[in-house]
Amino acid sequence: MSKMALGSHPFLLGFEQLERLVERTAKSDPGGYPPYNIEQTSDTAYRITLAVAGFAEDDLSITVEDRQLVVRGRQAEPDESRNFLHRGIAARQFQRTFVLADGVEVAGARLENGLLHVDLHRSVPDTVVRTIQISSGKTEGN
| Closest-CA residue to 52 (of 74, 30, 70, 68) | 74
pLDDT number for residue 124: 85
Query: Is residue 23 domain-resident?
Result: no
> What is the average pLDDT across 26-48?
86
Its pTM stands at 0.71
Into how many domains does the chain fold? 1
Q: How confident is the model at residue 4 (pLDDT cuts 50, 70, 90)?
A: low
What pLDDT is stored for residue 79 in this prediction? 73
Tell me the residue range of the domain where 53 lies.
33-77+87-126
Residue 2 falls inside a structural domain: no
The verdict on residue 71 lying in a domain is yes
Sheet holding 104-112, edge to edge: 36-42, 45-51, 115-122, 104-112
Residue 42 covered by a domain:
yes
Q: What is the pLDDT of residues 12-33, one digit of tens each?
A: 777 667 677 667 666 666 578 8
Give the CATH number, domain containing residue 70: 2.60.40.790
Where does the chain have alpha helices with state H? 17-27
| Confidence at 40, pLDDT banded by 50, 70, 90 | very high
In sequence order, which residues have a C-beta less than 8 Å from that of residue 74 and are 6 or more positions away? 59, 93
Q: Is residue 51 part of a domain?
A: yes
Tell me the mean pLDDT in the region 32-43: 93
For 76-100, the pLDDT digits (tens) are 776 778 888 988 776 689 999 998 9
